[in-house]
Amino acid sequence: MTLASGTPASHQRNRRYLLLIAGLGGLLYGIDVGIIAGALPYLEATSSLNANQLSVVVAAVLLGSVISTLFAGWLSDRIGRRPVMILSGLTFVVSVPMIALSHGYGALVLGRLLQGVSAGLVGVVVPLYLAECLDASNRGKGTGVFQWLLTLGIFSAAIIAWIFSFRVEAIEQLHDAEKLFAFKNLAWRSIFWVSVIPGVFFVIGSFFLSESPRWLFRRGRREEAKAVLKRTRKDEQAELELQEMAENSEPNPVSTGEKIKASLLARKYVIPFLLACIILACNQATGVNSIIGYNATILIQAGLSDNHAHLGYVLLTLVNFLMTWVGVELVDRKGRKFLLALGSAGIVLSLVSIGFLFHRTEQRRVDCRAALQARVSPDQTLALNFGAAQANELLDTLGEAGSALKDKASTLVVIYAYGDFRAATKVVRTTDVLTSIKLTRESVVPTNRVVAFFSSPFASVKDAQTAPLRIENALITPVPGSGNGWLTAVCTFLFMAFFALGPGVCVWLALSELMPTRIRSNGMSIALLINQAVSTTIAAVFLPTVGKHGYATMFFVFAGCSIVYFLVAAFLLPETKGKTLEEIEAHFDRS
């Protein structure tokens, strides 16, 4: 069953349905990215996973995206855009019970990997499908709807987590550690269960979509392509686009491989491809996925309570959702170049501000590694409850340096190693109910050489299995007041507003519009592969890096990358609003 063609009224209905179902793909992508932020504090509190393992759980969805983007373009060329959309939805639906029912690290990571595979497929095929199905006057807003519903997915995940945080706060007042542990364990699993609903709707809805007209045309199915175009366009507009497709299509090369290679190295392919890759890499180098994924944790470290941190995350996602719609409304009026330049400039200012706020606190942190090293047991493990009394004991060992933090709320993170394998513990606060941490060989040394290679390529598993526990840092940091926490939250809201207004809306357009027809699907896959590789790397190193060097360092690095983003958007990116895909391709051919 497919959508019917006919009157202008039916054109409008068909466009709306197309946007609705394709937008549900954005919803899935948003849930993939955002759901872990609300669940992470509860997963962290109820699992035995260390910071490195938690980083892998967060990064697994991005790693899965890297894997799927490797073949998403080839697959969408091979079997069509619509079947790949159906496949991505099914993969997401299967991943949810794997995560929600998991009772071990491996099952949890595998489920998150499958969510990432779904996200990678969606990230390639849905913007590709929208760009090829919508006319030039609607393409900006249409592709923006994908991003808008993506932000709705993130917002929905935040609302669900916030609701659970009220119950968590109530149980904390009872000071019943066992009951609190049980509910937090239920909370993170329930957050994932709720996310399966939009996945089911996306799968069902995708069955009723038509195939992309440009995919049909490239397969020699001109009449079918014409019929699909007429479902959303007037007859004369459909004929004109078919003519442009014919003029820009190149016959299948039958000459030597060198001629094919020379053709693909032409500037009309290379320049837009490089621009798309740079924009996508910089888009992730702003740290957006980590700021969303770790937002509740970031705000807790900035000084907010658990409930207020989850409220802050809800507000962040609401800002993202609302400002994305503003971007959708402006993208076809102001243009992609203007919004990208404005957004990236605002991102730089926001990130620098957050970095300075954390620097004010983190410059007062102290290192009590010697005291903890002395407490290591003969079996080379260390168990510690970081309550107020224990914190004062550790601070007393530092003399005058530790006296400034005595009797004040503080946090502890321990960076430790066995041989050349390192890990960071979760961050615990003296005012928390669950404040225990345990350092064991099993928490950091991989069980096989394959995992070891990806953890530390040059480290020896054999040596690490007998090496003593080495405390590299035991950092105690004062907890700032709630005023500092809310000021940090406001800066993250500004970051999110500028990101949503510019990069959030325009990045998918830049990806789908810049790529010429001949290389679009595979070019998008490669560009998104770079995008996800950057995102995966950031997510994987985020917690260990902030544990050792602090949040300020991480945010300053993000700001530096965003400066590059601004320069590219302001000075190298051409404007593409109001142009057909074929006109954009012709621009690079003659430039």
> What is the pLDDT, as a whole number, of residue 525?
66
> What is the pLDDT, as a whole number, of residue 522?
66
Residues 384-407 have a mean pLDDT of: 86
Residues 546-566 have a mean pLDDT of: 88
Q: Where are the beta strands (DSSP E) in 306-447?
A: 366-367, 382-385, 410-418, 421-424, 428-429, 436-439
The distance of Cα 321 from the centroid of its chain, to the nearest Å, equals: 15
Pairing of strands 366-367, 469-478: antiparallel
> What is the pLDDT, as a whole number, of residue 324?
85
More confident residue, 203 or 59: 203
Residues 29-55 have a mean pLDDT of: 73
Rounded percentage of the chain residues whose pLDDT exceeds 70: 82
Residues 351-369 have a mean pLDDT of: 90
Residues 152-169 have a mean pLDDT of: 78
Read off the pLDDT of residues 446-501 as tens digits, 9 standing for 90 and up.
766 655 665 566 778 888 889 999 998 888 888 888 889 899 999 999 999 999 88
In terms of Cβ atoms closer than 10 Å to its own Cβ (0-12, 13-18, 19+), residue 589 is middle
Q: Which residues of 216-255 are buried (b: 16+ CB within 10 A; e: fewer)?
A: bbbeeeeebbbbbbbbbbeeebbeebbebbeebeeeeeee
**Between the ranges 29-33, 237-241, 410-414, 425-429, where is the mean pLDDT highest?**
410-414
Listed range (47-56, 225-234, 408-417) with the worst mean pLDDT: 47-56
Domains of the chain, by residue range, sit at 8-211+250-359+484-590, 366-404+409-478
Average per-residue pLDDT in the chain? 79
More confident residue, 111 or 589: 111
In CATH terms, 8-211+250-359+484-590 corresponds, of 1.20.1250.20, 3.40.50.2300, 1.10.8.60, 1.10.10.60, to 1.20.1250.20
> What is the pLDDT, as a whole number, of residue 116?
85
> What is the pLDDT, as a whole number, of residue 591?
53
